[in-house]
Amino acid sequence: MNIEKIRADFPILSSFVYDKPLVYLDNGATTQKPRCVVEELENIYYTTNANVHRGVHYLSQRATDLAEEARVTVQHFINAEHSREIVFTKGTTESINLVAHSFCSQFCNKGDEIIISEMEHHANIVSWQLQESIRGITLKVIPINDKGELDLEEMKKLISPKTRLISIMHVSNVLGTINPIEDIIEIAHRNDIPVLVDAAQSVQHMEIDVQKLDCDFLVFSGHKIYGPNGVGVLYGKEKWLNQMPPYQGGGEMISQVSFKGTTFNELPFKFEAGTPDYPGVIALGTAINYIKKIGLDSIKVYEDELLQYCTDKLMQIEGIRIFGTSDKKSSVVSFLVGNIHHYDMGMLLDKMGIAVRTGHHCAQPLMDVLGIEGTVRASIAFYNTKEDIDRLVDGVKRVVAMFG
């Protein structure tokens, strides 16, 4: 990992905030974009802008080819069997909503159950709660232990003949816990239950092979993986996607439309109604190729080292509480110090040029379980350095000193 060279690919990392060099540790919320991704977007708009899948003219064909190449890039990135199993969406949230709506309308009746966990992001809670009110399904929730790990024995007890799906985050955006999704999938499949993996916080940090995992659905967002905002991915096994009805109606998702009735397009277009963000899709492919060049194996080793360094240094601060102490963690440290409000800590760090996240991190039920309102969260990317961590730790110490 040549960090200096990598950082040069991200112009924003050399910027100043309040006259201080920026330390960006809010990568769990969104990652910065390398020059090649921004240039790809510009290039598409300047040279290849035309609606995809519609025109016979050169530009439309070219834009279509590039967008479909990006689909194959995503397919190979997560090792899906077919490119038609890759559906482009707006992001993780839309991908989960798509599955919740479409899967439940096909497979769930009143009283059927979906299992999630206490640590889920709101996207993987509220999407299902909407189905609770529309279809009368019931949500069951896997508890966590003191280290912020899922209790799989409890999960086994929650499974019943009425369980239709288990929907679980791979890595917690608050605790950093890497959940044992291999075990969860194995247990679920033994009971003929499909599994959705929310990979919003994992796909940018570790290799994912959907065929090896044998997950039924996997979702992630482009903007958290160094790609553009407003584009995301739903991977679904063909056997499920084929049985599921469309999520939205409109152009491209149809085969034939008449006032007597409409037939739908084949996969994946059945789920891609309307003009997609094809420049975003193409630039997502560019972001993935950029990450692949660095190598997820190297990224993981480097980020794990930074995470350990950050945890060790923060632990030396008197009165600090770190939320999420599992042995299997990735890239996130959530903490509070003494009685200092997370918001005060975040505001004061910001004035020192250090960007961290504060609040409930879209995981209010988890905050309730932890008995807190929010945390300060530092989340790491491969362009961060030990100097960034030192600046964070010094900043936290200064805030502690200010509060006496």
| Number of continuous H segments (helices) and E segments (strands) in the chain | 14, 17
Question: Given the rule CB under 6 A, which of 7-15, 198-206, 259-267, 330-338 is the region that contacts ligand PLP?
Answer: 198-206
Output the smallest distance, CB 201 to ligand PLP, in A. Answer: 5
Helix (H) or strand (E) holding 198: strand 195-198
In this structure, are residues 146 and 321 in contact, taking their beta carbons and an 8 Å threshold?
A: no
User: Is 204 near ligand PLP (CB under 6 A)?
Assistant: no
> How far apart are alpha carbons 17 and 11 in whole angstroms?
14
Cα–Cα distance measured from residue 89 to residue 111, given in angstroms and rounded to the nearest whole number: 29
Among 25, 44, 166, 169, binds ligand PLP (CB under 6 A): 169
Candidate ranges 87-95, 182-190, 258-266, 324-332; the one touching ligand PLP (CB under 6 A): 87-95
For this structure, is 362 an active site residue? yes
- Residue 202 CB, nearest distance to ligand PLP (Å)? 8
Q: Which of residues 356-385 bind ligand PLP (CB under 6 A)?
A: 362
Pick between residue 234 and residue 299 the one whose CB is nearest to ligand PLP: 234
Do the Cβ atoms of 115 and 163 come closer than 8 Å?
Answer: yes
388 lies in the site for ligand PLP, by CB under 6 A: no
Give whichever of 48 and 167 is closer to ligand PLP, judged by the CB atom.
167
CA distances from 53 to 50, 82, 222 (A): 10, 19, 22
Tell me the window of 86-94, 159-167, 341-349, 377-385 that interacts with ligand PLP (CB under 6 A). 86-94
Contacts with ligand PLP by CB under 6 A: the residue count is 12
Interface segment toward ligand PLP; rule CB under 6 A; list 194-202, 289-297, 318-326, 351-359: 194-202
Q: Taking a C-beta distance cutoff of 8 angstroms, is the pair 51, 402 a contact?
A: no
Phi then psi for residue 273, to 5 deg, are -75, 140
Write out the two tokens for 120. Answer: 């889920």
Indicate which single residue of 92, 117, 163, 179 sits in contact with ligand PLP (rule: CB under 6 A): 92
Nearest to 51 by CA among 39, 64, 38, 41: 64
Candidates 27, 97, 221, 385; binder of ligand PLP (CB under 6 A) is 221
Instruction: Just list the catalytic residues.
Output: 362
